[in-house]
Amino acid sequence: MAQNVTLNTPVSDLFMVGQAYAKKLAKLEIHTVKDLLYHFPGRYLDFRQTRTISQLKPGEIITITGKIVSSQNIYTRSRKKIQKIIIQDKSGQIEAVWFNQPFLVSSLKPDKQVCLSGKVDVFGRQLSLVSPEYELFKDSAGIHTGRLVPIYPETRGVSSKWLRSRIAPVLKLPIKEFLPPVILKNHALIGLEESLKQIHFPQDLQSAEQARKRLAFEEMFLIQLISLTRKKLWQTHQPTQVLKLDQPKTLEFIAGLPFKLTSAQKRVIKQILTDLTKDQPMNRLLQGDVGSGKTVVAAMAIYLAWLNNQQAVLMAPTEILAQQHYQTFQNLLQPLGMKIELITGSTKTKRQPLHPTPCDLIIGTHALLHRSLEATNIALVIVDEQHRFGVEQRAQLLKKAGKKTLVPHFLTMTATPIPRTVALTLYGDLELSTIDEMPDNRQAVKTWVVSPHKKLAAYQWIKTQIKKEHSQTFIVCPLIEQSESETLKDVKAATVEFERLKTIFQPLKVDLLHGRLKVKSKKQAIDRFRAGKTHILVSTPVVEVGIDIPNATIMMIETAERFGLAQLHQLRGRVGRGAKQSYCLLFTDSANPQIIKRLSYLEKFHNGARLAEIDLQLRGPGEVYGVKQHGFFKLKLASLNNQALINQTREAAKLVINHLNKYQGLKLWLKQSKILT
């Protein structure tokens, strides 16, 4: 290996990699030598048991070493290529067989010593090793045979064997420890260099476990350090405006609402208003189920900014949601004299800078990031659907709205149920407020898992409900168009279902909504549905956020097993927003008992936080959210279910956060990893 190779060297510079393989590795998110070393195996093949050839028995997984007697390609009548190689040791001979790998005979030549690992089977009425791992005998320890052999996440053209042969050489690089000695000692962790060697090529399972323990700790520790560092930096800022609380007008605003606030809403409003009056900018996460009343809480914060002659900005992830907020806040705040502006990608004036005085509340999508906000007196920034925005996007918006160390108050909201362990880990830099109670007039949505043989009856029931109750129905499909993929061929597509359902539900009016429609077409579809001109809206999960149709009482979800519980709960939240009893039908063609059991949790539980906890246990954090959090790690070894690890790493991060200059190795690692700038 070249002497100038470092952890930051691009993988394309490595021996026998180059640009072609670098493109393939990029699909596995491997760009540098460090990425390659941190591409961990998911499991190991145990090839440690050795035998002489005479001792072999069918079904055993073993390793043998011997001399190649002969090797040949055999072509069958059906033009298949079989590679047969005879291996001999002192006790006897055995045949090894591979299929359609004619290049093997040029590597495995007679008289060479070879090591084979695999399963003993019967081929052609005799004992054989079928498609074993092979390795020409060398004095040094092998990496493909005779040991615990790592199996990695792969992609087309990049096998585990290829990855092993590329990882083994770079493990010889000197790798400096960056965790402080006090942390290694307190938590009985082995060193980084040893951890990387043992996780890829462990001496035994205990060594592999020790390596996983250290690397999982490292992974969670760095996440905790990011959160605490952001929190520390935030605390050095001063708000653009310390807002003064006008209690009489605040109480008057609450009294004028057309509904009564829940005790949970009152609690979080108090927390937020208290933050806004401090000389340190608010940085708070507000979470609550769909329909729990987060919008009115946000309205209270916006109202207080307005009373102080300051502006507010609200950013939503989609135009549908931005328009929904615009209509809601027009109803709530415009009668008070507040001026509200909507800015989305389709707004004609999107490239023009905003002026200091024209509006009090700016509502928009990502288009806000491309507008000049520097001239405005923004005291409050609100981001809705937190999980759909990356850390960098939020930072960019704050940078536009703030000036140097003066930044606006920041409130981020989400209806996506987030388990508390996840919230405190991934969003540890934010204070947490939770609306954990629904308004009194909200009935629980009755939910049923519908098996294939009951599907036609369910269609008829929906048709009857629409006619009898004069209500409306959402039908959600996972895909927009039918997939050619073998693994997705049975997944319902919205465009195909739309055509089929138009016939089934005649004479009812059926409409279609999905993300590829033009903004104008989306808006028209929603407006028709909201006005009651259509009875059924067939859609992709684009309806997950931002559509509030009180008259919609039925949510039918096709191929429900394709969604996580948290997302199904989100979709279910689109109905049950009026006084009528609402229903959610989960259609599945699967007969798998585990899938049925998972879906049945929605029949029992209506609390988003509880379902999110179950989802986390069943599916893992990445699948719970479905959206990678830019700026945070994609967890490889650590688990957000591991409360003990979360607590340990949190305390370890607190131990060093105020003394980073003392730990130069850690500081350099963070800088080189671009975790901290």
Fold match between domain 239-435 and domain 446-605:
yes
490 band by pLDDT with thresholds 50, 70 and 90: very low
Please tell me which residue, 417 or 192, carries the higher pLDDT value. 192
567 band by pLDDT with thresholds 50, 70 and 90: confident
CB burial of residue 49 (10 Å; 0-12, 13-18, 19+): exposed
Q: What are the tens digits of pLDDT across the range 373-410?
A: 544 688 998 988 755 555 555 566 666 555 556 788 98
Architecture of the domain made up of 239-435:
3-Layer(aba) Sandwich (3.40)
Residue 556's DSSP bridge partners are 475, 585
566 touches 608 (CB < 8 A): yes
Architecture of the domain made up of 446-605:
3-Layer(aba) Sandwich (3.40)
Lowest mean pLDDT, pick from 172-186, 217-231, 347-361, 542-556: 347-361
3-class DSSP assignment, residue 52: coil
Structure confidence at residue 496 (pLDDT) = 82
4 band by pLDDT with thresholds 50, 70 and 90: confident
Phi first, then psi: give them for residue 129, nearest 5 degrees: -100, 115
Q: What are the tens digits of pLDDT across the range 615-640?
A: 777 766 554 444 344 344 567 888 87
Q: What are the tens digits of pLDDT across the range 421-435?
A: 777 777 777 888 988
Neighbours of 597 (CB within 10 A): 11
Lowest mean pLDDT, pick from 479-483, 553-557, 671-675: 479-483
CA quadruple 306, 309, 315, 319: dihedral sign: positive
Asked if pLDDT for residue 369 goes beyond 90, the answer is no
Question: Of the candidates 487, 514, 492, which has an alpha carbon nearest to the alpha carbon of residue 559?
Answer: 492
Structure confidence at residue 393 (pLDDT) = 55
Share of the chain above pLDDT 90, in %: 49
Tell me, what DSSP letter sits at residue 190?
P
Predicted TM-score (pTM) above 0.85: no
Asked if pLDDT for residue 443 goes beyond 90, the answer is no
Q: What are the tens digits of pLDDT across the range 304-362?
A: 999 999 999 998 888 878 888 898 899 999 999 999 999 887 765 444 444 445 689 99
Residue 362's DSSP bridge partners are 313, 341
Maximal CA-CA distance, the chain? 97
Please tell me which residue, 265 or 671, carries the higher pLDDT value. 265
**175 Cβ contact partners less than 8 Å away, ≥ 6 residues apart:** 7, 37, 192, 193, 196
Asked if pLDDT for residue 454 goes beyond 60, the answer is yes
Mean pLDDT value across the chain? 85
Going from N- to C-terminal start, the domains of the chain cover 1-44+156-174, 49-146, 178-236+642-677, 239-435, 446-605
Please tell me which residue, 384 or 479, carries the higher pLDDT value. 384
Question: Of the candidates 178, 234, 110, 118, which has an alpha carbon nearest to the alpha carbon of residue 667?
Answer: 178
* Distance of alpha carbon 62 from alpha carbon 281, whole angstroms: 64
* Distance of alpha carbon 212 from alpha carbon 195, whole angstroms: 7
591 band by pLDDT with thresholds 50, 70 and 90: confident
Structure confidence at residue 344 (pLDDT) = 80
Structure confidence at residue 359 (pLDDT) = 86
Tell me, what DSSP letter sits at residue 62?
E
Please tell me which residue, 358 or 62, carries the higher pLDDT value. 62
Question: Of the candidates 288, 317, 293, 303, which has an alpha carbon nearest to the alpha carbon of residue 384?
Answer: 317
Judge: domain 49-146, CATH 2.30.30.140: no
3-class DSSP assignment, residue 79: coil
